[in-house]
């Protein structure tokens, strides 16, 4: 990845890569989930509650990683229970695909079942070698020339890195793995060879949709997998009744929820855990970790930052930024404004270039704006300050004190005109 960030912590549609397979396993009904990490414990802070961490002090291959995960599981388990192995860098595997794989394994009575797929370009993947009857003979790695033959490298059916084992079979095989290969590592697929040698059944389950088993090894494949994930997110929302005018120019994170009959116009990004109600209109805007109730509107060129709540029927317009603020039902911030750390009542209209001065250089302060308030153009509200219900401010005012309900607040210097100013002789020659 050429990155200081561990590969599995690179994000795909707003979710760290490692959480994609973890989430799929949980949705498929996994009883316990164990993530194997290095001694740096990079994933520890992002794992959901209940997901266990097995620390591998020295990386020694996929076989070594599974060995440490099995040790984490401990004793006292059903030895015939299926153990699913997923790869942290194969993010698009779905809960449905996992369920199908586990069902195929259980039905066949196999000691091990591997998920395979056929790729046009299998470069970098381990190849599945079958016997004359179509059974799995072995999996050969192709990272180094010494691990495979030319004929094996021409095979297009690949190991996806997804396996199901009977627990007792896996426990018996792992201690017998060998690191006698070009990488000097313990390869998990060697377990299949050992089980076949023991006379156990090794099965394969081909996954038709290769997108579900694509791995990430660099920024190019990260972008490719991200595009596939984004397409699936768009389709999920559109099938649920959301209009996305141009999916190719729209970014929506996996954690976003959107209600029916909402319209998302082009060049919009909706990130984080943003929640959007029904019947909303989002035009060319950026939304992050905010909440929009039914019938709200944003944009064009709106920027909603974390903690923003737009109540039903409210609107944030052109070139408006809102941060950590609650905009009341039916209220409007039409254009050219910054509203930060504010509570705004219902049916209020904040005129063009209304600014909340919420930071004094050390601390953030809140602004309270009542219901039915109208601020004049170019009003600055210096927090902490309160505008009562139905209050009005004059254009160009800098409001530093409370404006009582129904009052007009004006805070600006009186205008003075200098007669004849334009006809004055210049005090210095004009530039030629």
Q: What is the CATH number of the domain that holds 341?
A: 2.160.10.10
Residue 146 placed within a domain = yes
Residue 429 placed within a domain = no
pLDDT band at 430 (very low <50, low <70, confident <90, very high): low
Domain endpoint, select from 198, 213, 228: 213
CA distance 64 to 161: 14
Q: Are residues 201 and 236 in the same domain?
A: no
Confidence at residue 152, expressed as pLDDT on a 0 to 100 scale = 86
Q: What range does the domain containing 356 cover?
A: 220-409
Distances (CA, A) of 134 to 155, 197, 203: 14, 17, 10
Q: Are residues 307 and 338 in the same domain?
A: yes
Residue 1 placed within a domain = no
Higher pLDDT, 56 or 431: 56
Residue 205, φ and ψ in degrees, nearest 5 = -125, 110
Structure-token pair, residue 159: 């190991």
Point out the catalytic residue in the list 168, 284, 335, 365.
Answer: 335
Contact 386, 402 (CB under 8 A): yes
Summarize the confidence of residues 384-401 as an average pLDDT. 97
Summarize the confidence of residues 119-147 as an average pLDDT. 80
Number of domains the chain contains: 2
Contact 340, 323 (CB under 8 A): yes
Residue 420 placed within a domain = no
Alpha-helical regions (H) of 44-127: 62-73, 95-108
Q: Are residues 103 and 142 in the same domain?
A: yes
Residue 432 placed within a domain = no
- The edge-to-edge listing of strands for the beta sheet with 315-318 is 243-244, 263-264, 281-282, 297-298, 315-318, 332-335, 349-350, 374-375, 392-393, 408-409
Q: What percentage of the chain reaches a pLDDT higher than 70?
A: 97
Q: Are residues 96 and 235 in the same domain?
A: no
Mention every residue, 6+ apart, whose C-beta is less than 8 A from residue 20. 12, 91, 92, 93, 229
Expressed in angstroms, the distance from the first to the final Cα of the chain is: 59
Of the ranges 38-52, 73-87, 117-131, 156-170, which one carries the lowest mean pLDDT score? 117-131
Q: Are residues 158 and 129 in the same domain?
A: yes
Q: Are residues 197 and 244 in the same domain?
A: no
Convert the pLDDT of each residue in 195-232 to its tens digit.
Answer: 999 999 999 899 988 888 888 999 999 999 999 999 99
Contact 302, 318 (CB under 8 A): yes
Q: Are residues 345 and 203 in the same domain?
A: no
β-pair type (392-393, 408-409): parallel
Q: Are residues 203 and 228 in the same domain?
A: no
Give 27's Cβ-side CA count (13 Å radius): 12
Indicate whether 141 pLDDT > 70. Answer: yes
Q: Are residues 114 and 200 in the same domain?
A: yes
Q: Are residues 325 and 184 in the same domain?
A: no
CA distance 331 to 369: 11
Residue 267 placed within a domain = yes
Place of tokens 């600014």: 355
Q: Are residues 305 and 399 in the same domain?
A: yes
Residue 285 placed within a domain = yes
CATH label of the domain that carries residue 190 = 3.90.550.10
Summarize the confidence of residues 293-301 as an average pLDDT. 98
Q: Evaluate if pTM is beyond 0.75.
A: yes
Confidence at residue 428, expressed as pLDDT on a 0 to 100 scale = 58
Domain endpoint, select from 181, 213, 245: 213
Local structure of residue 403 (DSSP, 8 states): B
Candidates 212, 215, 208; CA nearest to 62 is 215
Residue environment code for 301-315, b if the CB has 16+ CB neighbours within 10 A, otherwise e: bbbbbebbbbbbbbb
335 assigned to active site: yes
Indicate whether 432 pLDDT > 60. Answer: no
Of the ranges 280-284, 302-306, 366-370, 428-432, which one carries the lowest mean pLDDT score? 428-432
Domain endpoint, select from 189, 213, 237: 213
pLDDT band at 422 (very low <50, low <70, confident <90, very high): confident
Q: What is the mean pLDDT of the chain?
A: 93
Q: Are residues 257 and 403 in the same domain?
A: yes
């Amino acid at each position: 990845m050429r990155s200081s960030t561990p590969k599995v912590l690179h994000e795909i549609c707003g979710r760290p890569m490692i959480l994609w397979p973890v989430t799929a396993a949980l949705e498929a009904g996994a009883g316990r989930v164990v993530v194997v990490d290095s001694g740096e414990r990079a994933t520890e802070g992002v794992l959901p509650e209940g997901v266990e961490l097995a620390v591998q002090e020295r990386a020694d291959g996929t076989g070594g990683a599974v060995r440490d995960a099995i040790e984490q599981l401990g004793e006292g388990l059903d030895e015939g229970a299926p153990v699913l192995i997923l790869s942290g860098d194969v993010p698009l595997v779905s809960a449905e695909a996992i369920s199908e794989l586990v069902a195929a394994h259980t039905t066949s009575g196999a000691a091990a079942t591997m998920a395979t797929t056929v790729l046009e370009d299998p470069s970098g993947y381990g190849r599945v070698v079958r016997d004359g009857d179509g059974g799995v003979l072995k999996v050969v790695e192709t990272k180094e020339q010494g691990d495979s033959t030319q004929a094996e490298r021409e095979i297009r059916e690949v190991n996806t890195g997804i396996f199901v084992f009977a627990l007792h079979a896996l426990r018996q095989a792992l201690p017998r793995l060998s690191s006698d290969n070009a990488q000097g590592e313990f390869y998990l697929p060697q377990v299949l060879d050992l089980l076949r040698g023991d006379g156990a059944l090794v099965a394969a389950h081909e996954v038709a949709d290769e997108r579900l088993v694509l791995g990430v090894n660099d920024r190019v494949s990260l972008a490719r997998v991200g595009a596939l994930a984004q397409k699936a997110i768009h389709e999920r929302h559109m099938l649920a009744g959301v209009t996305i005018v141009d999916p190719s120019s729209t970014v929506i994170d996996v954690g976003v929820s959107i209600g029916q009959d909402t319209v998302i116009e082009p060049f919009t990004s909706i990130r984080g855990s943003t929640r959007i109600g029904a019947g909303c209109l989002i035009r060319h805007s950026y939304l992050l970790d905010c909440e929009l109730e039914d019938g709200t509107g944003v944009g064009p060129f709106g920027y909603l930052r974390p903690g923003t709540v737009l109540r039903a029927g409210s609107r944030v317009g052109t070139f408006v930024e809102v941060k950590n603020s609650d905009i009341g039902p039916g209220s409007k911030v039409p254009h050219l404004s910054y509203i930060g750390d504010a509570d705004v009542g219902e049916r209020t209209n904040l005129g063009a270039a209304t600014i909340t001065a919420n930071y004094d250089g050390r601390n953030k302060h809140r602004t309270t704006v009542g219901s039915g308030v109208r601020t004049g153009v170019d009003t600055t509200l210096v927090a902490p300050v309160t505008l009562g219900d139905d209050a009005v401010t004059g254009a160009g005012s800098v409001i530093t004190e409370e404006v009582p309900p129904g009052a007009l607040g004006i805070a600006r210097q009186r205008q003075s005109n200098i007669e004849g100013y334009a006809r004055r002789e210049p005090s210095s020659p004009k530039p030629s």
